[in-house]
Amino acid sequence: MPATSKAQQKAAGAALAAKRGDMAPDELVGASKEMFETMSEAELEDLASTARKGLPDKKGD
């Protein structure tokens, strides 16, 4: 499932970094923290790998 906005793609990237141990999970806030807790590494990788070109900044844009 590809990301629907740049913000979602960025949050997934941060959560994925925490899952992989590249950053501390306690540094996460908001959507990235929720994604870290509820999504698998494969799901996060799918969202984070979405190309940003053509995506709106936020879902409502």
Domain-wise residue ranges, the chain: 6-48
User: Stretch 9-37: mean pLDDT, rounded?
Assistant: 96
19-23, 31-35, 52-56: least confident range: 52-56
pTM over the 0.85 mark:
yes
- pLDDT classification of 60: cutoffs 50, 70, 90: confident
| Alpha carbons 33 and 51: distance in angstroms, whole number | 22
User: Stretch 12-29: mean pLDDT, rounded?
Assistant: 96
Helix axes 41-48, 30-38, angle to 10 degrees: 140
DSSP 8: H
